[in-house]
Amino acid sequence: MRIFYRLCKMSSIMPPPQSLLKPMNFPRKSLYGPGPSNCPPRVLAACALPLLGHCHPEFFQIMDEIKEGVQYAFQTQNELTLAISGTGHAGMEAAVCNMVEPKDVVVVFSAGLWGERFADMAERHDADVRVVEKPMGAVFTLDDVKQALDHHKPSVAFIAHSESSSTVMQPLEGIGDLCKSHNCILIVDCVASLGGAPMFMDQWNIDVLYSGSQKVLSCPPGAAPISLNQRARNKLAARKTKVRSFYLDMNWLGNYWGCDGQPRKYHHTGPISSMYALREGLSMLVEEGLEECQARHQKCANILYEGLEKMGLKPFVKNKAHRLPTLTAVEVPDGIDWKKVSQYAMDKYKIELAGGLGASAGKVWRLGFMGYNAQPENVRTTLRVLQEGIEWYRNSPQSKL
């Protein structure tokens, strides 16, 4: 003991950070951007429930219920369906590291940030990446897909159903059939659309589908629903090399989630509270019903479109059929500083008016009404605040500079 105290006196111990002796600062804000969404009280309450052990039978039951909820949201009967401990990026990374091996030819249909991110991840796994690019706001046709598959002959293809950087919703019908006929695994990102727009994983022949918890499901970020069909499982089983990420290895994760019929083994400490929240968010989706939830989001989107038209503002995506019902990019008028208007809305009303992402940065506001936030009164309030902010900026001295 004397030696311990002597060492303490000889050592220089850092002083405690004063910031941690004060309460956290978390003002209540209306998160009407690309996500995260505001959480409903019952989801927040679920986060505060007592912890269980991550291998306790009661927690395994909750994991099983989450699996059923994800299958419902994805409209799939795939056995290998679960929620990864991580955000939507972890879902994307899991799709890459499980489906891609070195030298695999991977076609990435890219019309925004998420195609760019997927290509980056695939390159890090030594894939032969071929990017088929279109400008932001555009979608890929079946002819585009067929030509790329015929020319590149890939083993894996990626496309974003919800390209949140441009707020495009990519039509998917027929793409899975084309990929299947070319013996190519189709990976789809539906992070910003799941629950707010139609999604039929099995019917559309999607091999790997992933999403996130913080959008329409209105949960805290930190869980990424994902599902692999039998074709994807066959590719996983036929790998010549180990999955490079132990943490995201779907063989281990599938066992931990009870997807392989074998006794569950410890893989990692699941984020207990995050899974409570996800279970509650999925429960709310089931109670409302998928079709009803999608109709609510489309109703809010239509109110937004009508309001923007009255204000003389234009959605970035011109074709209504290609707009995400959950998230809308609005073109910033000439002479308006988007950031100053967004700051005005935040400072005065604590309302988030997000800017663009990637190539759309500085060119658009992105307005999202997802999950708990998808209510007509929230849309109308945001339209009023946006108009007020634009008028404020036009009348301010700084607009004349």
**Per the annotation, does 366 bind a ligand?**
yes
Taking a C-beta distance cutoff of 8 angstroms, is the pair 31, 373 a contact? Answer: yes
Q: How far is CA 376 from CA 28, 216, 297, 369, 379, in A?
A: 20, 15, 9, 9, 5
Taking a C-beta distance cutoff of 8 angstroms, is the pair 279, 46 a contact? Answer: yes
Taking a C-beta distance cutoff of 8 angstroms, is the pair 191, 211 a contact? Answer: yes
Count of helices and strands (H, E) across the chain: 13, 12
> 203 — phi, psi (to 5°)?
-65, -35
Determine which helix (DSSP H) or strand (DSSP E) holds 223, and give its type and residue range: strand 223-228
Nearest Cα residue to 108 out of 249, 95, 348, 40 = 95
Cis, bond preceding 34 (omega within 30 deg of 0): no
- ∠ CA 119-124-126, nearest 5°, is 95
Cα(276)–Cα(282) distance, integer angstroms: 10
DSSP string, 90-142: HHHHHHHHHH--TT-EEEEEESSHHHHHHHHHHHHTT-EEEEEE--TT----H
Partners of 185 in the beta sheet? 156
- Whose tokens are 């401990």? That residue is 85
- By CB atoms closer than 10 A (0-12, 13-18, 19+), residue 226 is buried
Taking a C-beta distance cutoff of 8 angstroms, is the pair 385, 358 a contact? Answer: no
- Whose tokens are 């955000």? That residue is 87
Determine which helix (DSSP H) or strand (DSSP E) holds 152, and give its type and residue range: helix 142-152
> 209 — phi, psi (to 5°)?
-130, 135
- By CB atoms closer than 10 A (0-12, 13-18, 19+), residue 105 is middle
Residue ranges of the annotated binding site are 366
Residues making up the binding site for substrate = 366
